[in-house]
Amino acid sequence: MITMLAATALLLSAQTPSISDVVQPSFRDASFQVKVTYANQEELGKISKDFSQTYKFRVMDVKLKEPFMIRMTGNVEDTSILFVLNGSTRLMSVPKIGLRQREDLEKEPGKRQTALDFGFLTPSMFQGLFVGAFVRTDRATGDYVFDVSYNPKYDYKTYYRVWIDPSKRYITRREWYRRDRQLATFYYSNPVNQDGVWLPTHLMVKNVDNLRAGETEYVAMKVNTGLSDDLFRLR
């Protein structure tokens, strides 16, 4: 009897997906535009003040590169803003007002944007920053459900529950929690395939009241074109 139970446990363990089963292993870089198609500042504000501010950029140019490199440029009215994240260091530049701020976010991992924000996961994210724990397979969709939390070394209480299409390996739904309080739910859709990488091209976010707060589209997407590291230098 004990042998049978042990064998059953091993079989179930072998069938349990790991986070490595749902990352995009072929992803190297991407560039695209994020266009806001809907924004309700009152409903966005229920998520967080900082989050609502991001929807004031009607269009942003985004470049991502492994590992942990992001460059974003946009305009709010007549003011241009540049964000560069390289590793755990972030640079924000607003030339109009002479602002050039450099921050070390090593102890504030929640401020570090990653591919997770755009609806997919990469292997490097789980090499010190995040850990992923399988929760279940969603019966309705067949998606794998994982809890993605920050490495325990950070003692950071924010985490995400994500639903991931197991064949295309992109996030279809993401719930954002802070100290077990849900802040928002993100719905990703309309995936496209480039160079063997599936990425979503539409995002809708709802607040804790389940009200639509914002929507964006990712357009002019290009994947694995060999973006130069110079684009992400903190200078």
* Per-residue model confidence as pLDDT tens digits over 81-123: 999 999 999 999 999 888 999 999 998 998 999 999 999 999 9
Cα gap 160→129, rounded to integer Å = 13
Please tell me the distance from the alpha carbon of residue 188 to that of residue 39, in angstroms, as a whole number.
16
| Residues β-bridged to residue 197 | 194
Cis peptide before 67 (omega within 30 of 0): yes
Flag whether pLDDT at 170 surpasses 90: yes
Asked if residues 91 and 84 have their Cβ atoms less than 8 Å apart, the reply is yes
Let me know the angle formed at the C-alpha of 186 by 181 and 188, rounded to the nearest 5 degrees: 155
For residue 165, give both structure tokens.
Answer: 């299409």
Query: Does the pLDDT value for residue 12 go beyond 60?
Result: no
Give backbone dihedrals phi and psi of 99, rounded to 5 degrees, phi first.
Answer: -90, 130
Tell me the CATH number for domain 20-224: 2.50.20.10
* Strand, helix or coil for residue 46: coil
pLDDT at 211 over 70: yes
What residues are paired with 83 via a beta bridge?
72, 92
pLDDT interval class at 232 (50, 70, 90): very high
For residue 20, give the 3-state DSSP assignment.
helix
Closest CA to 122 of 83, 172, 65, 175: 65
Q: What DSSP state is assigned to residue 107?
A: T
pLDDT band of 2, cuts 50, 70, 90: low
pLDDT, average across residues 20-32: 97
- In sequence order, which ranges of the chain are alpha helices (DSSP H)? 2-15, 41-45, 49-54
- Tell me 72's DSSP state: E
d(CA 55, CA 58): 7
**Confidence at residue 49, expressed as pLDDT on a 0 to 100 scale:** 87
What is the mean pLDDT of the segment spanning 220-228? 97
5, pLDDT greater than 60:
no
> Once rounded to an integer, what is the mean pLDDT over residues 3-7?
57
* Between 209 and 155, the higher pLDDT residue: 209
- Mean pLDDT, the chain, integer: 92
Q: Mean pLDDT over residues 189-198, rounded?
A: 97
The residue ranking higher by pLDDT, 4 or 204, is 204
Cα 140 from Cα 137, distance rounded (Å): 9
CA distances from 51 to 55, 99, 142 (A): 8, 21, 30
Residue 220 has what pLDDT? 96
User: Tens of pLDDT along 47-81?
Assistant: 998 899 899 999 999 999 999 999 999 998 888 99
